[in-house]
Amino acid sequence: MGSYPVSVLLCCFFFVLVTVRAQQTELHDTDATALPPPDCREETYPCTRMYSVHRPIKRCIHSLCLYSLPRVYVINKEICVRTVCQQDEILMAELCREKSGWPKRQKRTTLKRCLRANPKTWANRA
């Protein structure tokens, strides 16, 4: 009986220690995410999603009640926030150029420079 209160005190102390440590890590995590890098900005955009759920419907005919679970589509309208950096925008623009069939900017500029430096004439072909 004498060891019971000591074990309860140790468990309570351990619980308090764990909760304080968890709160400290949450504070450090929020501080790190609060400041975006200097060349980045936060952008809000509508992230509307549609998903299906089964909604129970009760239909009664006189004293007989039937339950059915038809599929209902729900539209979730939210506004999301994302961090956009200048480097990411450049990469996305380059990817968009490649998907649309345009050459990369670096290849295009170096190809023009090479053509200007060494024009294909009869004198240069020999």
125 domain-assigned: no
Tokens 């072909």, residue? 125
> Whole-model pTM?
0.34
109 domain-assigned: no
28 domain-assigned: yes
pLDDT tens string, the chain, 126 residues long: the values are 455 565 544 554 555 444 556 666 555 555 555 666 677 888 898 888 888 999 999 999 988 999 999 999 988 888 889 888 888 888 888 888 888 888 777 655 555 555 555 556 666 555
- The answer to whether the beta carbons of residues 62 and 91 sit under 8 Å apart is no
With H, G, I as helix, E, B as strand and everything else as coil, classify residue 88: helix
33 domain-assigned: yes
> Structural domain tally of the chain?
1
Range of the domain at 63: 3-100
71 domain-assigned: yes
85 domain-assigned: yes
117 domain-assigned: no
Helix ranges, 76-119 (H): 86-99, 105-117
- The answer to whether the beta carbons of residues 55 and 69 sit under 8 Å apart is yes
Q: Which residues contact 71 (CB under 8 A, 6 or more apart)?
A: 52, 53, 54
